[in-house]
Amino acid sequence: MSVYDFSAKTNSGEEKSLRDYAGKVLVIVNTASKCGFTPQYKELQELYDKYQDKGLEILGFPCNQFGAQEPGTNSEVQQFCRRNYGVSFQIFEKGDVRGETAQPLFKYLTAEKGFKGFDKEHELSAILMDALKKHYPEYLEDEGIKWNFTKFLIDREGNVVERYEPTTSPSAMSAAIEKLL
Protein backbone atom coordinates (compact mmCIF):
# COMPACT_ATOMS: atom_id res chain seq x y z
CA MET A 1 0.00 0.00 0.00
CA SER A 2 1.16 3.52 -0.73
CA VAL A 3 -0.34 6.98 -1.08
CA TYR A 4 -0.87 6.17 -4.76
CA ASP A 5 -3.79 3.91 -3.80
CA PHE A 6 -5.82 6.95 -2.82
CA SER A 7 -7.68 9.62 -4.73
CA ALA A 8 -9.33 12.90 -3.81
CA LYS A 9 -11.42 15.63 -5.39
CA THR A 10 -9.67 18.86 -6.31
CA ASN A 11 -11.25 22.19 -5.45
CA SER A 12 -12.50 22.48 -9.01
CA GLY A 13 -14.39 19.22 -8.66
CA GLU A 14 -12.02 16.89 -10.54
CA GLU A 15 -11.44 13.42 -9.11
CA LYS A 16 -7.67 12.93 -8.98
CA SER A 17 -5.75 9.75 -8.28
CA LEU A 18 -2.55 10.27 -6.32
CA ARG A 19 -0.94 7.87 -8.77
CA ASP A 20 -0.73 10.90 -11.06
CA TYR A 21 2.02 12.12 -8.74
CA ALA A 22 4.15 8.97 -8.91
CA GLY A 23 7.80 9.91 -9.25
CA LYS A 24 7.37 13.25 -7.48
CA VAL A 25 8.39 14.11 -3.96
CA LEU A 26 5.20 15.11 -2.19
CA VAL A 27 4.35 17.30 0.74
CA ILE A 28 0.77 16.54 1.77
CA VAL A 29 -0.59 19.12 4.18
CA ASN A 30 -3.94 19.75 5.82
CA THR A 31 -4.63 23.46 5.57
CA ALA A 32 -6.91 25.89 7.33
CA SER A 33 -10.05 26.40 5.33
CA LYS A 34 -10.30 30.06 6.27
CA CYS A 35 -9.60 31.98 3.12
CA GLY A 36 -7.05 34.43 4.52
CA PHE A 37 -3.53 34.07 3.20
CA THR A 38 -1.91 32.91 6.41
CA PRO A 39 1.87 32.90 6.87
CA GLN A 40 1.86 29.11 6.56
CA TYR A 41 0.46 29.31 3.04
CA LYS A 42 3.17 31.80 2.18
CA GLU A 43 5.93 29.50 3.44
CA LEU A 44 4.49 26.53 1.56
CA GLN A 45 4.40 28.61 -1.62
CA GLU A 46 8.04 29.57 -1.08
CA LEU A 47 8.94 25.89 -0.77
CA TYR A 48 7.05 25.18 -3.97
CA ASP A 49 8.77 28.03 -5.80
CA LYS A 50 12.13 26.64 -4.74
CA TYR A 51 11.66 22.95 -5.54
CA GLN A 52 8.82 22.52 -8.04
CA ASP A 53 11.24 22.40 -10.97
CA LYS A 54 13.21 19.68 -9.22
CA GLY A 55 10.13 17.49 -8.76
CA LEU A 56 8.31 18.64 -5.63
CA GLU A 57 4.55 18.76 -5.54
CA ILE A 58 2.54 20.13 -2.63
CA LEU A 59 -1.02 18.93 -2.06
CA GLY A 60 -3.19 21.06 0.22
CA PHE A 61 -6.30 19.70 1.89
CA PRO A 62 -8.47 22.41 3.48
CA CYS A 63 -10.29 21.39 6.62
CA ASN A 64 -12.39 23.20 9.19
CA GLN A 65 -12.15 20.73 12.06
CA PHE A 66 -9.85 23.09 13.89
CA GLY A 67 -12.27 25.96 13.99
CA ALA A 68 -10.85 28.18 16.68
CA GLN A 69 -8.67 31.19 15.91
CA GLU A 70 -5.12 30.23 14.94
CA PRO A 71 -3.29 30.37 18.28
CA GLY A 72 -0.51 32.90 18.45
CA THR A 73 -1.85 35.04 15.62
CA ASN A 74 -3.42 38.44 15.84
CA SER A 75 -6.93 38.85 14.55
CA GLU A 76 -6.30 40.93 11.45
CA VAL A 77 -9.38 40.30 9.41
CA GLN A 78 -9.44 40.78 5.66
CA GLN A 79 -12.93 40.82 4.29
CA PHE A 80 -12.08 39.02 1.08
CA CYS A 81 -10.77 35.63 -0.07
CA ARG A 82 -8.15 34.59 -2.54
CA ARG A 83 -8.76 32.00 -5.24
CA ASN A 84 -6.87 28.82 -4.36
CA TYR A 85 -5.77 30.55 -1.12
CA GLY A 86 -3.35 32.58 -3.23
CA VAL A 87 -1.05 29.64 -3.92
CA SER A 88 -0.12 27.88 -7.13
CA PHE A 89 0.07 24.31 -5.84
CA GLN A 90 -2.91 21.94 -5.95
CA ILE A 91 -5.66 22.52 -3.43
CA PHE A 92 -8.24 19.80 -2.89
CA GLU A 93 -11.85 19.89 -1.78
CA LYS A 94 -12.57 20.79 1.84
CA GLY A 95 -12.94 17.69 4.00
CA ASP A 96 -12.21 16.04 7.32
CA VAL A 97 -8.71 14.89 8.19
CA ARG A 98 -9.17 13.44 11.67
CA GLY A 99 -11.52 11.20 13.58
CA GLU A 100 -14.11 8.77 12.28
CA THR A 101 -15.00 10.99 9.32
CA ALA A 102 -11.42 11.55 8.16
CA GLN A 103 -10.94 10.96 4.45
CA PRO A 104 -9.17 7.64 3.69
CA LEU A 105 -5.89 9.28 2.64
CA PHE A 106 -5.50 10.90 6.04
CA LYS A 107 -6.46 7.76 7.93
CA TYR A 108 -3.61 6.09 6.02
CA LEU A 109 -1.10 8.90 6.58
CA THR A 110 -1.69 9.05 10.33
CA ALA A 111 -1.56 5.25 10.60
CA GLU A 112 1.83 5.33 8.87
CA LYS A 113 3.17 8.15 11.02
CA GLY A 114 1.73 8.82 14.44
CA PHE A 115 2.00 11.85 16.70
CA LYS A 116 5.34 12.28 18.43
CA GLY A 117 4.63 15.58 20.17
CA PHE A 118 5.12 19.20 19.21
CA ASP A 119 8.60 20.65 18.86
CA LYS A 120 9.26 21.75 22.45
CA GLU A 121 11.67 24.42 21.26
CA HIS A 122 9.03 26.16 19.20
CA GLU A 123 7.41 29.24 20.74
CA LEU A 124 3.96 28.17 19.58
CA SER A 125 4.04 24.66 21.05
CA ALA A 126 2.80 25.70 24.48
CA ILE A 127 0.13 27.97 23.04
CA LEU A 128 -1.07 25.27 20.65
CA MET A 129 -1.12 22.69 23.46
CA ASP A 130 -3.21 25.05 25.60
CA ALA A 131 -5.65 25.73 22.77
CA LEU A 132 -6.10 22.00 22.22
CA LYS A 133 -6.60 21.23 25.90
CA LYS A 134 -9.17 24.02 26.11
CA HIS A 135 -11.12 23.54 22.86
CA TYR A 136 -10.47 20.03 21.58
CA PRO A 137 -9.10 17.83 24.39
CA GLU A 138 -10.27 14.70 22.57
CA TYR A 139 -7.87 15.50 19.72
CA LEU A 140 -4.97 14.76 22.05
CA GLU A 141 -6.06 11.20 22.67
CA ASP A 142 -5.06 9.57 19.39
CA GLU A 143 -2.51 9.59 16.55
CA GLY A 144 -4.68 11.77 14.35
CA ILE A 145 -4.03 15.22 13.00
CA LYS A 146 -3.87 17.76 15.82
CA TRP A 147 -4.14 21.08 14.00
CA ASN A 148 -3.93 22.89 10.67
CA PHE A 149 -0.73 22.56 8.66
CA THR A 150 0.41 19.10 9.69
CA LYS A 151 2.73 17.98 6.91
CA PHE A 152 3.65 14.55 5.51
CA LEU A 153 6.73 14.04 3.35
CA ILE A 154 6.39 11.35 0.69
CA ASP A 155 9.23 9.95 -1.40
CA ARG A 156 9.20 9.31 -5.13
CA GLU A 157 7.75 5.85 -4.60
CA GLY A 158 4.78 6.89 -2.52
CA ASN A 159 6.19 5.95 0.88
CA VAL A 160 5.45 8.18 3.86
CA VAL A 161 8.90 9.20 5.03
CA GLU A 162 8.12 11.69 7.78
CA ARG A 163 5.38 13.63 9.55
CA TYR A 164 5.87 17.21 10.69
CA GLU A 165 3.59 18.94 13.17
CA PRO A 166 2.31 22.50 12.63
CA THR A 167 5.16 23.77 14.76
CA THR A 168 7.67 22.72 12.09
CA SER A 169 7.86 25.40 9.45
CA PRO A 170 7.92 24.37 5.78
CA SER A 171 11.40 25.85 5.39
CA ALA A 172 12.68 23.51 8.10
CA MET A 173 11.78 20.63 5.80
CA SER A 174 14.22 21.74 3.08
CA ALA A 175 17.07 19.39 3.99
CA ALA A 176 14.78 16.37 4.14
CA ILE A 177 13.15 17.33 0.85
CA GLU A 178 16.50 17.82 -0.89
CA LYS A 179 17.58 14.34 0.19
CA LEU A 180 14.63 12.86 -1.67
CA LEU A 181 14.78 14.99 -4.82
Question: Considering only residues 74, 75, 78, 175, which one is a binding residue for other proteins as defined by CB under 8 A?
Answer: 78
Residues whose CB is less than 8 angstroms from the CB of residue 34 and which lie 6 or more positions away in sequence, other chains included: 64
Minimum distance from CB of 79 to other proteins (Å)? Answer: 4
Pairing of strands 151-154, 25-32: antiparallel
Question: Considering only residues 19, 94, 134, 135, which one is a binding residue for other proteins as defined by CB under 8 A?
Answer: 94
How far is residue 104's CA from residue 121's CA, in Å, rounded to a whole number?
Answer: 32
Q: Is 63 a catalytic residue?
A: no
Residues 21-50 that bind other proteins (CB under 8 A): 33, 35
Using the contact rule CB under 8 A, the part of the chain among 21-29, 45-53, 83-91, 171-179 near other proteins is: 83-91
How far is residue 28's CA from residue 109's CA, in Å, rounded to a whole number?
Answer: 9
How far is residue 99's CA from residue 60's CA, in Å, rounded to a whole number?
Answer: 19
What is the CB neighbour count within 10 angstroms for residue 175?
8
Q: Which of 9, 22, 35, 125 is catalytic?
A: 35
- Where do contacts with other proteins occur on this chain (CB under 8 A)? 11-13, 33, 35, 62, 78-84, 86, 94
Would you please indicate which residues are annotated as catalytic (active-site) residues? Answer: 35
